[in-house]
Amino acid sequence: MRVVRFLIAVLVPVGLATGAGAEPFAPNPHLDWTVSPEQIHDACKSAKDRADTALREITVLEPQSRSFANTPAAVEAALDDLYDTTSGDAFLKDVAVSSATRDAARGCQTLLDKYNLEVFNREDLYKAVKDYADKDEKLGGEDKKLLQKELLDFKRNGLMLAKDERAEVKKLKDRIVEIQQAFAKNVDDVKDSLLVTRAELDGLPDDYINRLERDGDKYRVTVDYPDYFPFMENARDPQARRKLEFLFNNRAASENVPLFAEALKLRAEAAGRLGFANHAAYVLEDRMAKNPFTVEDFLSRLRSKLKPLGNAELKVLLELKSKEEGARSDGKIDAWDWRYYDNQLKKSRYQIDQEAIKEYFPMETVVSGMLKVYQKLLGIRFREIPDAAVWHPDVKLYEIVDATSGLPSGPPIAYFYMDLFPREGKYKHAASFNIVNGRRLADGTYQKPVAAIVANFPKSTNTAPSLLKHGSHQDVETIFHEFGHVMHMTLTKARYERFSGANTAWDFVEAPSQMLENWVWDPAVLASLSGNYKDPSKKLPEDLLKKMIAVRNVDTGLVQLRQVFLSEVDMAYHTEREIKDPTALYARMMRDISLIPMNPGTNPEASFGHLFDGYDAGYYGYLWSKVYAQDMFSRFESEGLLNPAIGKQYRDEVLAPGGSQDEMDLVRKFLGREPNEDAFLRSLGLEKKKGA
């Protein structure tokens, strides 16, 4: 296959001993990708028991003997040790080949999630930390923030409540954790597909058609991203698009619709018992935004600026639809239409053909170019580790070396895995995972972080190369975004795991990686990422490059209104007092805000995974953090996109602290001023550049 050694040509392999009998290299002694389901179960339980013992030892100390080291720091250390010894096993729920292993890993994750709730529901542990806090010792920096966060966790779990009331809150939260795991598993296990004729594939490129599974004279199109999105963007048959969109937005509906409704009720009840007006108020207390009113004001301002633009864009798409469908047109852009006509607009107005463009973005070229950009920008080097221990043959492991010392080589400071191609049972989207967090260990050494980028880009075959699409929310931008998370996770210098890397406020966590999406739109960077797969010496033509940059903000109103809609429906789910029909609420708000009606009979909330992976009452964070992302990017715009001095400052002042400092302070320090929305609005084409 074309991609087996796609990074070896551009990265220098580490000189590790890999002779006969040598064990495959693992970046941390706790990581073992060969564990059996039984071993996962036993190891997870043992780790929990060790944490129990460590926490029990903290609680028996006399109040007068309490210190920061033996109480708040000791609580953190016990939980850090628990995470370090179980995180690899839990991660297998998303990537393991064996379904039994994935199930065992999910069981481990559920146990850990529940245990974390138990820890901050413990009255004896709360008393221990409170006894130390009452001594009012002078603390600063991370130590001060650690104590504040631990006290806040106890408060948010009801330790100020009566014992029986607290038990009810814990019961509610335990059930929410169970729902979260079941919801994710149901979506991951979906194997729905649509059988289509060759005629219904009209508009799809040959490489797409040739890789589809055949069933007699029909072709099987799944609801997985690599099948779904190209089909929705290119298939000319509107009824075929409608049928696939119906399947996609009914993924796991029979199982997850009732689970979702139950989760909303339980979240609202738990928040009420804890003294909050609603679940959103509970969540936002610990975010940059602080409260739902700030979020709703932010979204309302943005919606009012975007709606006129979205209506104008919708009119253009309707003209395209009327021209193509004639008398058959229903006179509106349906849910199964907008991706298709958005693609047709780009082709007709800018002569942008994504299928032609992606020929210039083979996986090998994009990834090698991306790594070179990150290395130059952040003052680091990546080196592939041959014969590393991995969970699947497609996976690669790399080490990160600090290149700012000026030495030709040095010890690794962190590691990352790349798992980029789809397979059955694997996590279905693109995401980054912090497998091992960086932190200061008891012996004074710093634990090297380990992260992974997991994606589902098309895989090379004997007849077709792996080609990536370029555009907003397309493959090239996605991989830059996710790798930005990996850099955040691995270049940390935070002392405590709680603040390590991307463990920041949830409405800031996307900002560093969103900022780095901008690089894929720079002409010089784009040239370095491109090379025709048939002849790598043929770079992306300059005229095509200019069209791609020009088309970046095509339909930006509709695209961003969809993000506003998802943010607002999330807030509605978690602020309204009683929601009798979550699907009906979704349909109404989708029509009113995104301007595109929902496909009747679908249940999109049943696969809205972000509402169960930490973004409940927090989906607005994508737009919120984009404001700070674009503001930070404005420095690079004015001082040089690959300016190593600015890159080093960004690495030291934004990435390295992780969540150990207030996120607003990080941004202020890097910018040298108060943040504002100007750069964000300019990026959407809503305001002109200064001096224009």
Inter-residue contact 355 to 234 (CB < 8 Å): yes
Select from 220, 248, 276 the last residue of a domain: 248
Domain containing 75 — which CATH number?
1.20.1050.40
Alpha helix (H) residue ranges in 600-654:
621-639, 644-650
Select from 157, 173, 208 the last residue of a domain: 157
Residue 86 is assigned to a structural domain of this protein: yes
Q: How far apart are CA 74 and CA 80, in angstroms?
A: 10
List Cβ neighbours of 379 (8 Å cut-off, separation of 6 or more): 402, 403, 404, 644, 647, 648, 651
Catalytic residues: 482
Q: What is the pLDDT of residue 94?
A: 96
> What is the per-residue pLDDT across 42-100, written as a single tens digit (0 to 9) for each?
999 999 999 999 999 999 999 999 999 999 999 999 999 999 999 999 999 999 999 99
Inter-residue contact 158 to 122 (CB < 8 Å): no
Residue 198 is assigned to a structural domain of this protein: yes
Q: What is the pLDDT of residue 5?
A: 24
pLDDT band at residue 462 using 50, 70 and 90 as cut-offs: confident
Phi, psi of 334 (to 5 degrees): -90, 170
Inter-residue contact 56 to 86 (CB < 8 Å): no
Please check whether residues 51 and 150 belong to one and the same domain.
Answer: yes
pLDDT band at residue 21 using 50, 70 and 90 as cut-offs: low
Interval 445-465 mean pLDDT: 93
> What is the per-residue pLDDT across 215-250, written as a single tens digit (0 to 9) for each?
999 999 999 988 999 999 999 999 999 999 999 999
Q: Which residues, in sequence order, are bridge partners of residue 382? A: 400
> What is the per-residue pLDDT across 261-319, written as a single tens digit (0 to 9) for each?
999 999 999 999 999 999 999 999 999 999 999 999 999 999 999 999 999 999 999 99
Q: How far apart are CA 692 and CA 683, in angstroms?
A: 14
List Cβ neighbours of 34 (8 Å cut-off, separation of 6 or more): 389
Cα of 507 vs its chain's centroid, Å: 12
pLDDT band at residue 16 using 50, 70 and 90 as cut-offs: very low
pLDDT band at residue 691 using 50, 70 and 90 as cut-offs: very low
CB atoms under 10 Å from CB of 524, counted, come to 10
Task: Write out 556-590 in H/E/C secondary structure.
Answer: HHHHHHHHHHHHHHHHHHCCCCCCCCHHHHHHHHH
Residue 517 is assigned to a structural domain of this protein: no
pLDDT at 251 over 60: yes
Q: How far apart are CA 97 and CA 99, in angstroms?
A: 6
Q: What is the pLDDT of residue 639?
A: 96
Strand order through the sheet with 412-419: 380-384, 396-402, 412-419, 450-454, 431-436
| Residue from 645, 647, 612, 671 nearest 262 by CA | 612
List Cβ neighbours of 559 (8 Å cut-off, separation of 6 or more): 472, 473
225 vs 592, residue with greater confidence: 592
Q: Tell me the helices (H) and strands (E) count for the chain, helix number first.
A: 25, 10
> What is the per-residue pLDDT across 405-428, written as a single tens digit (0 to 9) for each?
776 678 999 999 999 999 999 998
Q: Among 69-73, 328-332, 406-410, 507-511, which is the least confidently predicted range? A: 406-410
Host H or E run for residue 414: strand 412-419
Q: How many domains does the chain have?
A: 2
Please check whether residues 116 and 224 belong to one and the same domain.
Answer: no
Kindly report the CA angle at 615 between 613 and 617, in degrees rounded to 5? 135
Please check whether residues 200 and 153 belong to one and the same domain.
Answer: no
Full domain range(s) for residue 61: 37-157
Can you state the percent helix, strand and coil of the chain, rounding each to 5?
55, 5, 35
Q: What is the pLDDT of residue 472?
A: 72
Please check whether residues 132 and 228 belong to one and the same domain.
Answer: no
pLDDT band at residue 692 using 50, 70 and 90 as cut-offs: very low
Cα of 306 vs its chain's centroid, Å: 25
pLDDT at 19 over 50: no
Cα of 282 vs its chain's centroid, Å: 22
> What is the per-residue pLDDT across 102-137, written as a single tens digit (0 to 9) for each?
999 999 999 998 898 899 989 999 999 999 999 999
pLDDT band at residue 355 using 50, 70 and 90 as cut-offs: confident
Q: In sequence order, what E strands does 110-192 have?
A: none
Residue 330 is assigned to a structural domain of this protein: no
Kindly report the CA angle at 102 between 112 and 226, in degrees rounded to 5? 120
CB atoms under 10 Å from CB of 556, counted, come to 18
pLDDT at 209 over 50: yes
| DSSP 8-state symbol, 200 | G
Please check whether residues 113 and 211 belong to one and the same domain.
Answer: no
Residue 355 is assigned to a structural domain of this protein: no
Select from 157, 183, 205 the last residue of a domain: 157
Phi, psi of 660 (to 5 degrees): -75, -15
First-last CA distance in the chain? 49
Interval 480-508 mean pLDDT: 96
Which residue's entry shows tokens 């010392």? Answer: 405
Q: How far apart are CA 223 and CA 190, in angstroms?
A: 8
Residue 227 is assigned to a structural domain of this protein: yes
pLDDT band at residue 687 using 50, 70 and 90 as cut-offs: low
Inter-residue contact 589 to 234 (CB < 8 Å): no
Residue 142 is assigned to a structural domain of this protein: yes
Q: What is the pLDDT of residue 351?
A: 79
150 vs 614, residue with greater confidence: 150
Q: Which residues, in sequence order, are bridge partners of residue 383? A: 399
| Residue from 3, 82, 17, 5 nearest 44 by CA | 82
Residue 153 is assigned to a structural domain of this protein: yes
Please check whether residues 41 and 134 belong to one and the same domain.
Answer: yes
pLDDT band at residue 354 using 50, 70 and 90 as cut-offs: confident
pLDDT band at residue 662 using 50, 70 and 90 as cut-offs: very high
Interval 550-559 mean pLDDT: 87
Interval 463-482 mean pLDDT: 89
Please check whether residues 46 and 150 belong to one and the same domain.
Answer: yes
Average pLDDT, the chain: 92
Inter-residue contact 651 to 379 (CB < 8 Å): yes
Q: What is the pLDDT of residue 2?
A: 24
Q: Among 1-10, 58-67, 528-537, which is the least confidently predicted range? A: 1-10
One-letter amino acid identity for 91?
F
Inter-residue contact 473 to 521 (CB < 8 Å): no
Q: What is the pLDDT of residue 593?
A: 98
Q: Among 516-530, 579-593, 616-630, which is the least confidently predicted range? A: 516-530
Angle 663-671/621-639 helices, nearest 10 degrees? 20
Inter-residue contact 310 to 595 (CB < 8 Å): yes
Q: What is the pLDDT of residue 408?
A: 65
Cα Rg of the chain, angstroms? 25
Percentage of the chain modeled with pLDDT above 70: 96
Interval 546-553 mean pLDDT: 82
Please check whether residues 200 and 149 belong to one and the same domain.
Answer: no
Burial of 144: CB neighbours in 10 Å, binned 0-12, 13-18, 19+? middle
